[in-house]
Amino acid sequence: MHRLKHAILLWIFFATLFGVIARYVFDEASLADKAWIIGVTPVLIWVVWDIIKSLRHKNLGVDFIAALAIGGALLLAEYLAAAVITLMYASGQSLEQYAANRAKRELTALLSRVPTMADRYVNGTLESVPVSQLQPGDRLVIKTGAVLPVDGYVSGSTATLDESSLTGESLPVTHTEGQAASSGTLNIGQPFDLITVHDAANSAYAGIVRLVQEAQKGKAPFTRMADRYALWFIPLTLMVAGGAWLFSGDPVRALAVLVVATPCPLILAAPIAMVAGISTAARQGLLIKNGAALEALANSERIILDKTGTLTTGNPRLVDIETDDTFSHEEILQLAASLEQASFHVVSNAIVESAKQRSLPLIIPKHVEDVAGNGVQGMINDQQVMIGQSSWVLDSNQTPAPDWIASLLKRSSHNGQMLLLVSVDHQVRGALILQDEIRSDTPRALRSLRASGIQSLSMASGDQVEIAKSIGHALGMDHVYAGLHPDDKVKIVRQERQQGVTMMVGDGVNDAPALAIADIGVAMGAGGSGASSEAADAVLMVERIDVLADGLRIARRSQMIAKQSVVVGMALSIIAMLFAAFGYLTPLVGALLQEGIDVLVIINALRALRLPAGHYNILNVEQEEKLQKEHADLQSTLDQIRQLADRLASQQSVATEEMTELARMIEQKLIPHEQIDERQLHPELAHKMVGNDPMAMLSRTHGEILQLCNQYLSLVNQPHDEQQRNAMIGVLYSLSAILKLHFAQENELYSLLASDRHA
């Protein structure tokens, strides 16, 4: 369609130009009139057809005045005026179409990926069957280039899959025998066998497609700014034109009124400001799909943000392992990772990666059952192994929680951590503690959103209530919704929309239905899923949610400029209408005057391309990554500090060698890091920043950290009695808390100094 509109625009331009040359250069009036008629007629037909379609939906927009002006000019033989109006109208339509198609080039189609047939083994032979007939336990062959029709696990060989449609991962992913493979992914390697675990209706991808379709059908269409203004401008124009004709008896006066009333500011200024805003937002990393999405973004009052992958990194980190001493830490992790490699959950990847980092060999599990929302169970080396939520594991094994598990449950709940129990042959033998960390730019982004006028910030998560509330309260959320499924998120969005224009921000496949039903859905495109990007109205193309606050400011500024251009342009048009009504303007002069008004409002609309001046980057991206990597390398030291404090506080026995090893890490890694920051890095940053001693607060924190480190080093060398133990617990907990806060502050500072975010 947009190619057709561009072709029509070129057709009108050349027809108008040819007519002008024929009329004013060669004095061929008849030829000029024919050229203008030939150029104008296709657009008039196109406009009338659009009006008819709008009337079917009981809508009447600015196109109506344009059609009256073009048709009236043709009837009264004002062909050049008709050509000028037509050229202007087609230009505005092309700009609007350009805005609507800008983002579609970047996205894949969600619905087109749904397979309808599958190749299933039946009595040793293959038969092609409808996907709807597949049942759990069926063995399928997935050919090269085929999309997986249902969820399952790889059997008999390895599989190389393109998972970009679900995970956003651009690189191929290799799955070995026994590993889970999700529906909607594409086989780009050799054919392999798939054992189904769900039927088509219950597979992840099919469920998401169904919810997205339902959400999009139930979403009310957005009314263009131009059409909203047209509701009162059309009657006003018709009254003035009718009055001019009635009192003068001259239909040309009515035509002149229609010509100068042709809402050029609506047809041109608003789309130009919107396209400029879309372009500006794209430069900052927010891809907005069309002008309606930009308007919805500008009008947003409430925001719902998904937790995992949006507010947090989405990559849970294994921070601790506990056992009942029957198995070692490494053995518990090996069993858990071997079983989790057949699971679909994001936590599974963290456990598997932790095992690989420790070079633990993984075993292929058998008889795997993935219980949605609870955990995974299966056979490993003839042992029945379960890993999952504590309530599910304890209930399945029908055993009371041991004292050490009860203590862990309380501690992980207080710390906002995820606790997974591991049972072997129906006895709980270990626990894995994981934590999903808040993005370094999240607190600043939320502050910016509130400063931009957002009235309510809510967090939606599928995690347990305790974990979600811990993150939500730390971020100062107004509302925290936890334990949600995709359809629950849709209900939450509908509830929020009743209170104001609502934005939904998410990254996963399970967020796609909520993104589709929200007034404005924003997907995390850089690390999120292709399904969420397809369902959303805007896509964050960088792994920073502070860009969303920038996009909100850009959208509101663009909308303000568009309204400003429209109001000024329409005011000038109304003045011109009055002059035309009294016979001071002919249709042609009116068309040219309207072009002058166009130029003024277009120049004003183009201001949306500019951003307010920002600061120069104090750090470049490489420096920021280097500094944050230093903190990541010290994370193991921070984990050991907290783990040792917990064990001392729970009266567990702690070997002297463990305390000495921690002292060595503090002395060789942590203290030198803090000293370099205090003596070299921060003075260099302060020199480039504005203000007197801008790093003073962090400098004070460095002093506190170094003091606590030296206290611990002193305590390690003292006699190991109850007094020394209590003192060490206090020092370690204090050091753990202040280091966690300090590193978060520094990471946020480095992120800010390395960004080119504008005020």
DSSP state string for 359-398: TPPP---EEEEEETTTEEEEEETTEEEEEEEHHHHHHHHT
Q: What is the pLDDT of residue 303?
A: 93
* Distance, CA of 335 to CA of 239 (rounded, Å): 81
* Distance, CA of 321 to CA of 431 (rounded, Å): 6
Per-residue tokens: 649: 């506080």
Q: What is the pLDDT of residue 223?
A: 43
* Distance, CA of 734 to CA of 441 (rounded, Å): 25
Q: What is the pLDDT of residue 194?
A: 92
Query: Is-catalytic flag, 639?
Result: no
Burial-class residue 210 by CB neighbours within 10 Å (0-12, 13-18, 19+). Answer: middle
- Average pLDDT, 10 consecutive residues per value, the chain (759 residues): 54 59 62 69 72 66 68 70 69 56 40 70 85 88 86 85 56 76 80 86 61 47 56 74 79 76 64 77 77 85 85 78 82 89 74 81 84 78 87 76 77 75 88 81 83 87 76 84 82 90 81 83 64 70 79 87 80 82 78 72 73 60 77 82 81 79 89 88 80 77 88 84 85 89 83 60
- 388: Cβ–Cβ under 8 A, 6 or more apart, which residues? 371, 374, 375, 376, 377, 420, 421
Inter-residue contact 158 to 175 (CB < 8 Å): yes
Q: What is the pLDDT of residue 27?
A: 61
- 260: Cβ–Cβ under 8 A, 6 or more apart, which residues? 573, 576, 577, 579, 580, 585, 590, 591, 593, 594
Q: What is the pLDDT of residue 211?
A: 45
Q: What is the pLDDT of residue 105?
A: 42
Give pLDDT tens digits for 169-203.
Answer: 444 677 888 888 888 778 887 889 999 987 777 66
**Catalytic residue from among 63, 138, 151, 306:** 306
